[in-house]
């Protein structure tokens, strides 16, 4: 793929394959397409560590503290458990498909009930997730810079945004190194204060479990548990960021099967284990600050204050401040390079499909960072629970619908094709099965979130989203008899799509439009010229003359 190649209008002749623009491949990082075998040179372990490096964010500490302060420790812990179970169950089939077929979640979504254009709305949902959490992490970094260096918050917001851009330019090739190098130090800095409290202040454990919330109204309640879970479940779209790494997994073979499965499970649904632990630790530190350091809840929910207070018990103030700032900066950089990277992929994917014009991933990297900066300057941190609780309904509807389609419609009912299809012309523009299920699930749960179904049901909006998203795909698939999944079953290419182990084939073919070489899963036949065309050139074909006709 090259920038010149994607700007060629279908029907014209592409640039020479030795064009200097081909060097831009690393900049674009397979934004719109299958990740080819020739590029996937990392081991399963490296991919897994890189993916897990992206969950180093401190937002979990803030989320755990916020729900504990609002609903009490008992309700918060049960809410975190609900969150972990839902994330693990819905994340597994998605992670498997990404690692097995080397596709990002948008491409998986297209063939899992949404259609070629139907998945655009889910891309917008995911892009929203990336800039919300970029803004949250950027706010935490700005708080650290303000506390440690006296930098005004508004300037800290700008610095935490600008530092990310150059780190994301080269995609996976640079991000994998960044995550590997910074993870050990991050782990030490994060675990140290929690371990110290357990050893030196064992009474803090009983204080933690007895905490009833800011207003002392934290008695065990199913409604409070679901409200807490709803805030946590705003993180459900994190699986899409994990998948942006997992799509670079090497082919699964008998020799690497154990390592492949371990990496896929750990870096896929396994991320929630680390996320849940961080939420519990964040709540634990907040309760300690409120009970022992006489800190108000408005400060206790800020990770930089949480760690600074504990560090000061262990070491001199200057060293404590230094380590607190270093932890905040490392954590913010580790997650926000992933937020910025994944957001740029999502925006570019949507824009290209709608306009059939490819501006380059870096354009939307800038757009995503700008939106996040605006949110930070608007002080979104003060409205965290409301923002995340609302967003969770949309995120859950999308992710659970795709998981439901894979499990029920693909494997149990056999109404959806097992192998994912994402290429234009091969799938319908919109599939009512997934698209309709998501719209209904998100719409009804949002109405419930704002009290439209009555105050008694209001806390259960996350459950409404999950149940509808789980049940509607098989119901609609049966009702439509699965007819809207595939527009064609034959892509006109004689070579097999998969190798002897079921991995996407590494055979290469020439695209007659851009004159570049692409691996077998990324091309279809072009009947107009009796040649092959890549999925990328199909995406930018404004005339539609190269799109295969529907199969009769």
d(CA 386, CA 393): 12
Query: Residue 208 — φ and ψ, nearest 5°?
Result: -60, -50
pLDDT at 15: 33
Q: Which residues of the chain have pLDDT under 70?
A: 1-32, 54, 168-183, 215-218, 293-298, 380-385, 529, 552
Count Cβ atoms below 10 Å from residue 70 Cβ, excluding itself.
21
Q: Measuring CA to CA, how many Å separate 388 from each of 337, 381, 418, 530, 548? A: 21, 11, 33, 51, 42
Residue given tokens 């969150």 in the structure block: 83
Asked if 392 and 74 touch (Cβ cutoff 8 Å), the reply is no
* First-to-last C-alpha distance (Å) of the chain: 32
Torsion of CA 363, 431, 407, 416, to 10 degrees: -120
387-111-512 Cα angle (round to 5) = 115
Residue 384 confidence (pLDDT): 61
Distance CA 550, CA 552 (A): 6
pLDDT for position 31: 61
Taking the C-alpha atoms of residue 20 and residue 30, their distance in angstroms, rounded to an integer, is: 17
Characterize 226-254 residue by residue with b for buried, 16 or more Cβ atoms within 10 angstroms of its Cβ, and e for exposed.
bbbbbbbbbbbbbbbbbbbbbbbbbbbee
pLDDT of residue 382: 63
Query: φ, ψ for residue 524 (rounded to 5)?
Result: -135, 170
Q: How many CB atoms lie within 10 A of CB 6?
A: 25
CA neighbor of 203 nearest in space, from 284, 277, 279, 282: 284
Measuring CA to CA, how many Å separate 145 from each of 160, 302, 314? 9, 13, 21
How do residues 513-535 score in pLDDT, each as one tens digit? 888 889 999 999 987 767 899 88
Tell me phi and psi for residue 526, to 5 degrees. Answer: -115, 100
Q: Look at residues 376, 372, 387, 384 and name the one whose alpha carbon lies nearest to residue 282.
A: 384
How far, in Å, CA of 342 to CA of 175, rounded?
12
Query: What is the chain's length?
Result: 552
Look at residue 256 and give its three-state secondary structure: coil
For the whole model, what pTM was predicted?
0.83
> What 3-state class would DSSP assign to 4?
helix
In contact, 90 and 399? CB cutoff 8 Å: yes
Q: Phi and psi at residue 483, in whole multiples of 5°?
A: -75, -15
Under a CB-based contact definition with an 8 Å cutoff, are residues 431 and 405 in contact? no
pLDDT at 321: 87
Assigned token pair, 74: 């008992």
Q: What is d(CA 265, CA 309) in angstroms, rounded to the nearest whole number?
A: 35
Yes or no: say if 108 and 398 are a contact pair by the CB < 8 Å rule: no
Q: For residue 5, what pLDDT is reported?
A: 33
Q: 10 Å Cβ neighbour count for 210?
A: 13
CA distance 365 to 359: 11
Specify the CATH superfamily of domain 31-480.
Hydantoin permease (1.10.4160.10)
Q: What is the C-alpha separation between 458 and 448, in angstroms, rounded?
A: 5
CA distance 281 to 60: 9
All structural domains of the chain with their residue ranges: 31-480
**Chain CA centroid to CA 197, Å:** 32
Q: What's residue 172's pLDDT?
A: 53
What phi and psi, each to the nearest 5 degrees, are found at residue 286? -65, -45
């Amino acid at each position: 793929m090259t920038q010149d190649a994607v700007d060629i209008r279908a029907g014209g002749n592409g640039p020479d394959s030795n064009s200097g623009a081909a060097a831009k491949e690393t900049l674009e990082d397979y934004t719109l397409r299958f990740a080819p075998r020739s590029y996937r040179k990392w081991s399963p372990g490296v991919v897994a560590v890189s993916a897990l490096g992206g969950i180093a964010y401190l937002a979990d500490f803030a989320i755990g503290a916020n729900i504990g302060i609002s609903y009490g420790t008992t309700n918060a812990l049960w809410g975190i458990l609900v969150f972990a179970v839902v994330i693990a169950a819905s994340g597994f089939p998605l992670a498997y498909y990404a690692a097995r077929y080397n596709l990002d979640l948008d491409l998986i979504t297209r063939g899992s009930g949404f259609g070629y254009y139907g998945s655009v709305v889910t891309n917008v949902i995911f892009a929203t997730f990336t800039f919300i959490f970029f803004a949250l992490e950027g706010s935490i970094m700005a708080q650290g810079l303000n506390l440690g260096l006296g930098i005004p918050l508004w300037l800290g917001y700008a610095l935490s945004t600008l530092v990310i851009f150059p780190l994301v330019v080269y995609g996976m090739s640079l991000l994998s190194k960044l995550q590997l190098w910074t993870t050990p130090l991050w782990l030490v800095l994060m675990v140290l204060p929690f371990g110290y409290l357990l050893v030196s202040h064992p009474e803090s454990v009983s204080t933690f479990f007895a905490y009833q919330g800011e207003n002392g109204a934290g008695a065990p309640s199913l409604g409070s548990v679901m409200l807490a879970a709803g805030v946590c479940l705003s993180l459900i779209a994190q699986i899409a960021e994990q998948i942006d790494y997992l799509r670079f997994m090497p082919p699964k073979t008998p020799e690497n099967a154990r390592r492949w499965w371990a990496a896929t499970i750990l870096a896929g649904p396994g991320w929630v284990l680390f996320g849940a632990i961080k939420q519990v630790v964040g709540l634990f530190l907040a309760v300690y600050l409120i009970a022992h350091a006489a800190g108000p809840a408005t400060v206790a929910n800020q990770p930089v204050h949480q760690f600074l207070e504990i560090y000061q018990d262990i070491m001199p103030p200057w060293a404590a401040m230094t380590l607190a700032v270093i932890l905040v900066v490392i954590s913010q950089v580790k997650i926000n390079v992933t937020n910025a990277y994944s957001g740029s992929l999502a925006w570019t994917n949507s824009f290209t499909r709608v306009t059939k014009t490819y501006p380059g991933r870096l354009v939307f990297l800038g757009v995503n960072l700008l939106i996040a900066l605006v949110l930070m300057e608007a002080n979104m941190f003060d409205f965290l629970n409301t923002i995340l609780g609302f967003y969770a309904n949309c995120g859950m509807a999308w992710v659970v619908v795709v998981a439901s389609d894979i499990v029920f419609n693909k494997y149990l009912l056999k109404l959806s094709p097992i192998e994912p299809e994402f290429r234009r012309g091969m799938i319908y523009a919109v599939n009512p099965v997934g698209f309709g299920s998501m719209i209904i699930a998100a719409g009804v749960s949002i109405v419930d979130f704002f009290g439209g179904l009555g105050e008694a049901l209001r806390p259960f909006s996350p459950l409404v989203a999950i149940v509808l998203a789980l049940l509607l795909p098989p119901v609609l698939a049966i009702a439509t008899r699965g007819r809207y999944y595939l527009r064609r079953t034959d892509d006109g290419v004689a070579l097999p799509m998969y190798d002897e182990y079921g991995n996407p084939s590494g055979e290469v073919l020439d695209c007659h439009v851009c004159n570049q070489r692409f691996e077998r899963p990324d091309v279809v036949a072009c009947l107009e010229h009796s040649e092959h065309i890549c999925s990328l050139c199909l995406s930018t074909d404004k005339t539609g003359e190269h799109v295969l006709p529907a199969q009769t």
